[in-house]
Structure 1
Amino acid sequence: MLAPSPAGFRHLWPLLKPHRRRLLAGGLCMVIYVACWPLLAWLAGQLIPAIGAGNFPVVLRTIAAALGLFLVQKAAQFGQDTLLAGPALRVSQELRRGLFARLQRLEFGALEKLSAGDLTYRLTEDADRVGEVIYKTIQDTTPSALQLVVVLGYMVWLDWPLALATLLLAPVVVLLVSSFGARVMTAAERSQKQVSELAGLLGEAIGGLPLVRAFAAEPWLQQRFDTEIDLHRRARYRTLKLLALQHPVVGFLEAAGILTVLLLGAARIQAGGLNSQGFSSYVAALLMLIDPISHLTTNFNEFQQGQASLRRLRAIEAEPVEAPDRPSAQPLGSVRGELVLEQVRFGYNPAQPVLHDLDLQVRPGQVVALVGPSGAGKSTLFSLLLRFNTAQQGRVLLDGHDLADLRARELRRAVALVPQQSSVFSGTVAEAIAFGRPASEAAIRQAASLANAAGFIEALPQGYASRIEERGSNFSGGQLQRLAIARAVLGNPAVLLLDEATSALDAEAEEAVQRGLEQAMAGRTVLVIAHRLATVQGADRILVLDGGRIVEQGSHNELMAQGGRYRELCERQFIHLQA
């Protein structure tokens, strides 16, 4: 993977090492391709005077030799391009794969700051641009640079004073190209930033279209979209304008250079330092410089744009990742489901703790509800139990094992989450329940039955093989939530975390999901985040969190009798003491 360094493309070259044989074969083809250029220039020097003298046999032999040489060169070019394309595309693939793997390991705090649209653009368009630069560097820029060196060497061999005069023009072109390249890179970064922001807005807009229509906010959204695409147009236009200016300027310099060389060549012939055959070869070689210079100029601009894309990809690597398992991480083994928090303190910003010296013990099989205002620390507690985050002080224990000493994957098999908003990937119903885990058909059916989902699944035309569309658009909210419960209970986790699993459902769907939850909860340790307090009155224990602390705890009736914070919350929801 990329090294965490501000340096650019050279840190991608280690990814090419596994492809050394293909690179060597492609390099051999490249050498043959480049070596043909001075030979062709020499043949041109033989051909032009022969045509002028009307020497038909020499013209015929020279043309036949040139055709044979062209055939060898083009075969070598085909070998070069095909052999070198594979490794270049592999590098692009490995770059994208590695970045996606890192994306899956980012800390959740860092992940939440990143726009989904922007990340999508980086891993598609930016990664493609970097891959194209790698391919062009291997397949086009390198042979063009070699062609430049070899042909210039041939020109020096033919007539070094004339070649020296030609080379005096090169620094002017190089300085101009470098100046344009820096400006192009800056403009490209701005343009790519605008595309990312546009992609982010599109992601929000597509997901929120029903809400936009409900509030008749289409003109507002259209105006925001129009503003973003106008900013993108302006940024892109600045880049294209720079490129449009560069081509005629460099082209003019090339034309002026060729005319100057012709003038100097005429003077060298007049002085007797060069004959007509040598000058014809020199002019042919000079013309052979135009194509590689043009390629190098274009590729340099693309390289600068690729640098901008690479910087954006490398920014993902600068984000903090989830702490890896310790080398001494213990296997979890059989789990009873006892949870203990000892003096736990945690804050996304350590200077501003979300949880303050929290002590808690949950016995195996106990149902504990977490209630309290938004920001009280309920979801943060769940993130600690899943080890999405690690306590900065104190310990979180499962069956006496510190979570920091366990293997994360084993822990997350034992502690399952049912989120508030069910997120189900597209695929078959069976795949959505298995969710990448090896599971038999019987285990999937048993999980669906526990989640009260078997009835509606078996009523589908293809049963468990029925397809779920993107974002679950062909299933109801209640059905998706029951699939999420089945997904959670597959594998028989000891601990179940329910994050307000019925809050977004209507009464009928809530009843079906609640039945599934009751079946899924049986025999497990359960922690429930609840804003609708009517759903947790039967919990063994209710914890009231406020400001990251447990301010009250007890059963529903005990807390109502205390007349504290919990009773106040219940009365706001018209909930009274149970009979």
Structure 2
Amino acid sequence: MLAPPSAGFRRLLPLLMPYRSALLAGGVCMLVFVACWPLLAWLAGQLIPAIGAGDFGRVLQVIGLALTVFMLQKLAQFGQDTLLAGPALQVSQELRRRLFARLQKLDFGVLEKLSAGDLTYRLTEDADRVGEVIYKTIQDTTPSALQLVVVFGYMVWLDWKLSLGTLLLAPLVAVLVSVFGAKVMGAAEKSQKQVSELASLLGEAIGGLPLVRAFAAEPWLQQRFETEIDLHRRARYRTQRLLALQYPVVGFLEAAGILSVLLMGAARIQSGDLNGQGFSSYVAALLMLIDPISHLTTNFNEFQQGQASLRRLREIEHQAIEPPDKTQALALDHVAGELTLEQVNFSYEAEQPVLRNLSLRVKPGQVVALVGPSGAGKSTLFSLLLRFNTAQSGRVLLDGCDLADLKASELRKAVALVPQQSAVFSGTVAEAIAFGRPATLEQIRAAARLANADGFIEAMPGGYQARVEERGSNFSGGQLQRLAIARAVLGDPAVLLLDEATSALDAESEEAVQRGLDQAMAGRTVLVIAHRLSTVQEADSIVVLEHGQIVDQGNHDLLISRPGRYRDLCERQLIRGA
């Protein structure tokens, strides 16, 4: 569970600093826009008595001046909105960029505990909401607040006693808005959490629809979905109900305030302290307060919802990341591919060791198979070799160099992984094999030939420029696996890690993939995780793991010739000695 850290929009202010010139120009336009309001209120005070007196010439004069001021104000508003929109959107983009970069560096232990749907919602909906709040704060909330101050200052200048009576209602409105805002933020956090859970369920449901149909579990999934959307509806309804209550309450107070001012104004006119022209101007200014108050109320609610979103985004920043390279990290030159593990101990959780005092040496060019029951530590060993995780004690060496002393990027060029489930990104076939690395088409073709993939790629319309659909849905499992092998060997790694590379394939696909693997393995150090022992009988050495320790080691003929864990496993899979 992610723990909520403190979140504040003020922490985003440094991101605005590169756009000082645009903010300054937009600020000048904002000042012009705001300054026009008291001028328009004054003109309204001139216009109403002129209309009452039937002075048509004076009416035309005042209307002409008002139109000029309106035009100036709207031009300033256009400049304000366009000049300030850019920095606000840039901040939103930069925030999203930094969070995505942070996401790619998160510790694998943290990533495994996070929901993909929840993370997707945070980086899309939550980031959008934060961006909208930044934009509205700069482009709408700030000028509305300034308009409120300037127009009310003009009202004080007209009649400070009448303004004092008007001001008595302001604290009540402010308290109500604050109370409602706090409740809205709490409701918004719950609503956003519910949306994240709904997104997670949708991700699982869409990916698992074939399985659901295979087990005729549609009613069960439909019920789960309906439960989630009902919880989502309730959470959203609580937020909407709070907003629905706030607007009429604040609106009533605004109406009561205006009627009170009219009553007090009538008394001030009757006593001779205020003339009709001044009161007309005062009422016009008072009406000009309604719009900014409405905007500030609405924006405050959105700001509170944005606070909830920003807090959820900040939670990502506070998660542990992959340990960085050392200051004097070593770069790899020529890699022979010798792997050594010395007394390695590793655990994901305290007092639950996964690897215990494990020592192993793999010579350059050797093929070593890792076998054993689930949970024996085979996949964990791979994660240590790729430095996804770091051993609590002991050392892992490549050509005599401790992996902790190497640059992670250099290490992962020398050690390539072919996973059990081949994930490919959408794009062209060439892009799927290159996977963000600079490579010529000839280099990509050479890697595909090595992986026994060139034939089916060339047979496709478009060849290497053919599209790979989302999740590689337009390729068979065997074809995806050969693309994964091509992707792995493109950078000419010295070490190949094969994680059950053929376990999920039919016989024909397995044969094609195995030919690709045989070609890709030539001249490289290879570690193979295998549960189907028939696939590793030709390995130079077979390492039997159990409870994080090596319980037996040797080639197939040696291990099957004597009682032990390996022979037990072989007999269960109906494998006999040569």
With the shorter chain as reference, the TM-score category is: over 0.9
**CA 1:247–1:151: 2 relative to 1, 3 Å:** same
Matching residue of 1:523:
523
C-alpha distance in 2 between matches for 1:396 and 1:143: 60
C-alpha distance in 2 between matches for 1:401 and 1:273: 91
C-alpha distance in 1 between matches for 2:147 and 2:475: 61
Matching residue of 1:222:
222
Give the RMSD, CA atoms, in angstroms.
0.8
Matching residue of 1:121:
121
- Which contiguous aligned blocks of 4+ residues in structure 1 show a shift greater than 4 angstroms? none
* Superposed displacement of residue 7, structure 1: 3.4
Matching residue of 2:559:
559
Q: Deviations over 1:387-411 (max 9, x none)?
A: 0111111111000111011100010
Q: Deviations over 1:294-344 (max 9, x none)?
A: 000000000000011111111111211001111110111110000011111
* Superposed displacement of residue 165, structure 1: 0.8
Q: TM-score, normalised by structure 2?
A: 0.99
Letter of the aligned partner of 1:152 in structure 2? F
Matching residue of 2:55:
55
* Superposed displacement of residue 63, structure 1: 0.5
C-alpha distance in 1 between matches for 2:165 and 2:348: 65
Note if 1:362 corresponds to 2:362: yes
Note if 1:416 corresponds to 2:406: no
SS in 1 for 2:416: strand
Letter of the aligned partner of 2:21 in structure 1? R
SS in 1 for 2:352: coil
**CA 1:5–1:118: 2 relative to 1, 3 Å:** closer
Matching residue of 1:382:
382
Alignment of 1:192-271 (within 5 A): 192-271=192-271
Percent sequence identity is: 80
* Superposed displacement of residue 180, structure 1: 0.5
Letter of the aligned partner of 1:324 in structure 2? P
Alignment of 1:511-550 (within 5 A): 511-550=511-550
Contact 2:369/2:536, CA 8 A, preserved across alignment: yes
* Superposed displacement of residue 439, structure 1: 0.5
* Superposed displacement of residue 181, structure 1: 0.5
Matching residue of 2:139:
139
Letter of the aligned partner of 1:263 in structure 2? L
C-alpha distance in 1 between matches for 2:39 and 2:130: 35
* Superposed displacement of residue 351, structure 1: 3.3
* Superposed displacement of residue 274, structure 1: 1.1
**CA 1:532–1:415: 2 relative to 1, 3 Å:** same
Letter of the aligned partner of 1:260 in structure 2? S
C-alpha distance in 1 between matches for 2:35 and 2:62: 18
Matching residue of 2:275:
275
Matching residue of 2:101:
101
C-alpha distance in 2 between matches for 1:334 and 1:75: 65
Quick check: 111-120 or 343-352, which moved more?
343-352
Contact 2:5/2:318, CA 8 A, preserved across alignment: no
Q: Deviations over 1:228-264 (max 9, x none)?
A: 1111011101111111111111110000000001111
* Superposed displacement of residue 352, structure 1: 2.1
* Superposed displacement of residue 5, structure 1: 5.9
C-alpha distance in 2 between matches for 1:184 and 1:160: 35
Letter of the aligned partner of 2:195 in structure 1? V
Alignment of 1:457-472 (within 5 A): 457-472=457-472
C-alpha distance in 2 between matches for 1:347 and 1:281: 76
* Structure 2, unpaired ranges of 5+: none
C-alpha distance in 1 between matches for 2:351 and 2:397: 24
Contact 2:162/2:261, CA 8 A, preserved across alignment: yes
Matching residue of 1:64:
64
Letter of the aligned partner of 2:281 in structure 1? S
Q: Deviations over 1:327-366 (max 9, x none)?
A: 1101111100000111111111243221111111100000
C-alpha distance in 2 between matches for 1:563 and 1:178: 76
C-alpha distance in 2 between matches for 1:407 and 1:534: 37
C-alpha distance in 2 between matches for 1:443 and 1:461: 20
C-alpha distance in 1 between matches for 2:539 and 2:271: 106
Contact 2:181/2:301, CA 8 A, preserved across alignment: yes
SS in 1 for 2:133: helix
Letter of the aligned partner of 2:513 in structure 1? V
Matching residue of 2:476:
476
Paired positions, count:
575
